[in-house]
Chains A and B, each alone.
Chain A
Amino acid sequence: MVRDMTEDPFEAIVATHHAEIHRYLVRATSRAGDADDLSQETFVRAYKAYRALPPDANVRAWLFTIATNLSRNHYRAEGRRRQAMAVVAVGASKHSPTWPEGEAIANQASARIDRLVATLPFKQRVAFTMRKVHELDYDAIGQSLDCSAESARAHVFQALRKIRQGLDDVDVVQTER
């Protein structure tokens, strides 16, 4: 009998990785709505390409690479959009991170960090998120960013330095003196 195509091994890939990739994209794009779209797009692209993937490939790292590429393009497009908006909205209030939105969680330390993460340049932001939140190794992060593992590490450390400086202003780091 013909193998049933409805028994699709890709379903297991979605089940295992979708929630994590979605979570990653919320930070990578700074907006949950964009993460919804980009996580779908990530898996649709993966679905079309995964047959060509070598059997021993690291599927998780590969999905992160697709998601990172999509969010980089998205970030660029957003940047252009923001610039265009800025021209229109002269005198609008100073840029502030659009995420998180809820005031209730604004006092939590992790929410503060996320607020700072959202202000980082793209490469630092995603390198930090992949390393510190998703615990990918530097090789995988380098692959996602199309750079060496060493550069990936430099992006993460640079992000840590900036977050550390940012936290000085809100006085959370003084606790362990």
Chain B
Amino acid sequence: MSDIPTCREVARDLVAVAAGEAGAAATQGVERHVATCPPCRDELGRYRVLEGMVSDLRRAPMPGADPTLARAELESKLADIRSRMVAYGIFPSPLGRILIARSELGVSMVRYIDSDDAARSHIARLAGDEVVEDTTALEPVYRELLDYLNARGTRLSWPLDLRWAKSEFQRRVLAATSDLPYGAVASYGGIAKRVGAPESVRAVAQALRHNPLPIVIPCHRVIGSTGDLTGYAGTRIGLKEQLLTLEGVPVSGEGHRVDRNHMYAWVGPDREYCVPSCGGLSKMPLAQLTLFGSRRHAEAMGLSPCSSCRPDLHPLPA
């Protein structure tokens, strides 16, 4: 049997034993020592009492520790941050790399990008502190977009957040453009008429040039008065052609043009669509027409074949 440890030797272990955290050897040493040493037994007793008092701290109410007010202020701070917060992800797509961003309110940006880093600094400049890269949060949006770009869907019915629209006029232009159905095209002049500013064709083109949500707000469906595709997302006119082709709009490859003679035409507010030679349609400015690449897409928006030119009986050659 070993010697009984001294007061000095057990001093360090008293706290651990009282706390129930000492190893078997230390506990045994302390027990053997206090059996013969009343002062150390008292000391251990004090530590045990202290442990009991300390455990009361867990239950005792704390004066001044009411978290209610702090919690309420926190909730309103978080709500404020949340409303400014923008999450984004960068993804591959058939149209190249794309950045998609969203807020609490909805999707706020779709952007074709050349460089991930440049795109990151762009959105950081726009959104400030409250921007996070969160691919997981954007994944469902991306999946839907991918379905759309692979012709597995014709609608992107997301809630949108137009925080990055530059003016009230641009908002109106974007709203009118959103009304253009899948598979249809209209001219910049046509959009200008629809927003009640028929003279502002250039302003409409500018507004669409800075569309924060291409594809979703289908500015690719807006073309020049002669049928020229004119421009898209900087110098990406090829993407405009790709999107229109996906929707069944005939585009001639060489000249980047939509040929109105190969498209069905609709003049609102009539609910009928026609072949391009019907009545005086061929002389009518493009600004007054909406053109469809196929009867299917015209009928998908509730139009019926014109009763005089009968596009159902005399369809355009495919």
Chain A positions near chain B (C-beta within 8 angstroms): 1-3, 5-6, 8, 10, 14, 18-19, 22-23, 26, 32, 35-37, 39-40, 43-44, 47-48, 51, 99-102, 105, 108-111, 113-114, 132-133, 135, 153, 157, 160-161, 163-164, 167, 172-173, 175-177
A-B contact pairs, 11 of them (CB 8 A): A2-B141, A32-B63, A36-B69, A39-B67, A105-B63, A110-B53, A113-B53, A157-B19, A172-B53, A175-B49, A177-B42
Given A8-B82, A47-B81, A105-B63, A157:B50 Cβ within 8 A: no
On chain B, the residues within 8 Å of A5 by CB distance are 82, 85, 87, 102-104, 137
Pick from B70-78, B201-209, B252-260 the stretch touching chain A: B70-78
A124 to B156: give the CA distance in the assembly, Å.
58
CA distance A33 to B42 in the complex (A): 40
Instruction: Pick from A3, A22, A175: contact of B70, CB below 8 A.
Output: A22
The CA-CA distance from A19 to B67 in the complex, in Å, is 6
With contacts A5-B102, A43-B74 taken as known, whether A113 is within 8 angstroms of B57 at the C-beta atoms is: yes
Whether A132 contacts B15 in the complex (CB less than 8 A), given A100-B63, A176-B45, comes out as: no
Question: Across the interface, do B57 and A114 meet the contact criterion of CB distance under 8 Å?
Answer: yes
Which of B49, B65, B158 interacts with A173 by CB under 8 Å?
Answer: B49
A65 to B46, CA, bound (A): 32
Docked CA distance A51–B82 (Å): 13
> Besides A8-B82, A40-B77, 5 other CB < 8 A contacts?
A1-B157, A2-B102, A32-B66, A157-B16, A163-B54
Interface secondary structure of B, over-half rule:
helix
Known: A109-B56, A176-B48. A2 touches B106 (CB 8 A): yes
Interface residues on B, range: 35 or more
A48: B residues at CB distance < 8 A:
81, 132
Q: Closest CB-CB distance, A175 to chain B, in whole Å?
A: 7
Q: B residues bordering A, Cβ < 8 Å?
A: 15-16, 19, 21, 42, 45-50, 53-58, 60, 62-67, 69-71, 73-75, 77-78, 81-82, 85, 87, 102-104, 106-107, 132, 134, 136-137, 140-141, 157-159
Contacts of B60 in A (CB 8 A): 108, 110-111
B144 nearest CB neighbor, chain A only = A2
* Contact A101 to B63, CB < 8 A, known contacts A18-B71, A40-B70: yes
| Assembly CA distance A22 to B69 (angstroms) | 11
Interface centre among B15, B57, B81, B104 (most CB of A within 10 A): B57
Complex CA–CA separation, A88 to B203 (angstroms): 66
Q: How far is the CA of A117 from the CA of B45 in the complex (A)?
A: 21
CA distance A99 to B78 in the complex (A): 29
Complex alpha-carbon distance, A51 and B136, angstroms? 9
In the bound assembly, the distance between CA atoms of A32 and B55 in angstroms comes to: 21
Note all chain A residues with C-beta closer than 8 A to B57.
110, 113-114, 132-133
CB-nearest residue of chain B to A36 = B70
Partner of A40, one of B74, B85, B103: B74
> B13's closest neighbor in chain A, by CB?
A157
- The answer to whether B15 touches A2, judged by C-beta atoms less than 8 angstroms apart, is no
Residues of B within 8 A of A35 (CB): 65, 70
User: How long is the Cα–Cα vector from A107 to B60 in the complex, in angstroms?
Assistant: 13
Determine which of A6, A108, A110, A157 lies in contact with B15 in the assembled complex, contact meaning CB atoms within 8 Å: A157
Question: Are A110's CB and B78's CB within 8 A?
Answer: no
For B50, B64, B70, B140, which residue has the most chain A Cβ atoms within 10 angstroms?
A: B70
